[in-house]
Chains A and B, each alone.
Chain A
């Protein structure tokens, strides 16, 4: 309500890099680590989160004037739950082949911190169109993070990519296990920081952050 919303390019870049949900905000790590054992799994969850993020951001922004601010958090969760359930039911009914693949992941999304945090931080303060782009950027940022993590873990952990065998052995099985997921995300975070250093930015170390 105070500042005018930033331009679309900033919104998308923010989700992709500057405030990437996984590598910068370290949000939704548990489900992300559980699922990114292969590129395909990462991609499926990424797409599902992307759709729910965009729909939820837009809904929160459209309803921001009628939501009683004291109960906005439960209302956000209900909005997310509605979209997740609608998506679950629609996929199961009309796209059974897709549902067989993603059904396991869709239900996880209700508990994703990144979605609710974008609704609280952005959609409640901005009109519908910028909220759409903010959700779009964050969703794509999450999708890219899932693909990167999944690709690394599948390649190093199972010696394959998209289920196609690259080497005949499993180079480092640890990477596929949950602990390996955290190692992978840590390594990619380090890469992000290195790129930032090269771009002449300060490292994100002095934040009085409050991310959970």
Chain B
């Protein structure tokens, strides 16, 4: 190419003429124009997004809450009369001393590190029925002397399913580190702490590989196992046997009670979780998360059960 003619480039039969590039630095006036232009564009973008956020956010939160409630009802197989209580757990650092708080339906339990009671407070109705986690957290902070956003933190929750006042099962919200980021899951237990089901609530595993953790053939492998069976659970890379796959996939059709009656001996014959092909890390993340969540829950239940 000669330097006097403008550069030419041919793409798919079209010839484009490349204009000579202006190498001179922009003048101050030009810089100001660019900066102002970008500022205006970003301001307009912010206004548009704020507008859409404002109209869509209530519906989004409502959907999330509804989905949560639906998942818990399905997992525990609750009837329409049953109620669900949320129990929120907080940690409070008073200097070097660690204190634990549980906000249950009727009372706020203030315990020390070993589970001994420091105080017990009644929960007013508007906090009890509130669906907003923030409102509950703010209320708890207000009750504890010396607590602020730094020292008192919300660290997790579980749910109690009740029929006619009696606890029929629990759902633990657990979290585990997956292949990319956190996997959030719900773990359902019956009143004897036998695992009744697992539901993956949020994850960002790779589509087609890690996201198979949401498939019945994987997540239902945990169902029906006792606390002791969960404690010794391992992940194996052996292929998932065909008849066991069909068995775990039939859980939603049969319902938990019927399914357990039919397949309880089979569970002992398959003591381990069969990993997803090509996604061992995601499979182990879920399995470890389940083990840890259940272990912690059982430990905590010893101090919190009497407040439920």
Residues of A within 8 A of B156 (CB): none
Shortest Cβ distance from A154 into B: residue = B208
B62 to chain A, nearest CB (A): 9
A153 to chain B, nearest CB (A): 8
Residues of B within 8 A of A35 (CB): 207-208
Are B9 and A210 touching (Cβ within 8 A)? yes
Residues of A within 8 A of B53 (CB): 89
Are B63 and A92 touching (Cβ within 8 A)? yes
Among B40-48, B94-102, B133-141, B257-265, the stretch that binds chain A is B40-48
Chain A, range 82-115, C-beta contacts under 8 Å to B:
82, 85-86, 89-90, 92-94, 96, 104-105
Among B31-39, B106-114, B166-174, B229-237, the stretch that binds chain A is B31-39
Instruction: Take A37-B207, A71-B37, A173-B278 as given contacts and tell me if A94 and B10 are in contact as well, using a CB distance cutoff of 8 Å.
Output: no
Q: Is B29 part of the contact surface with A, judged by Cβ < 8 Å? A: no
Interface of A is mostly: helix
Are B49 and A85 touching (Cβ within 8 A)? yes
A161 to chain B, nearest CB (A): 14
Total interface residues in chain A, CB < 8 Å: 35
Are A68 and B37 touching (Cβ within 8 A)? yes
Are A92 and B278 touching (Cβ within 8 A)? no
Chain B, range 31-79, C-beta contacts under 8 Å to A:
33-34, 37-38, 41-42, 45, 48-49, 52-53, 55-57, 59-60, 63, 67
Residues of B within 8 A of A207 (CB): 10-12
A210 to chain B, nearest CB (A): 7
Residues of A within 8 A of B48 (CB): 82, 86
Are A94 and B207 touching (Cβ within 8 A)? no
Are A71 and B34 touching (Cβ within 8 A)? yes
Chosen A-B contacts, 9 in total, with CB atoms closer than 8 Å, are A37-B207, A75-B37, A75-B38, A81-B45, A82-B49, A85-B49, A86-B49, A94-B56, A210-B11
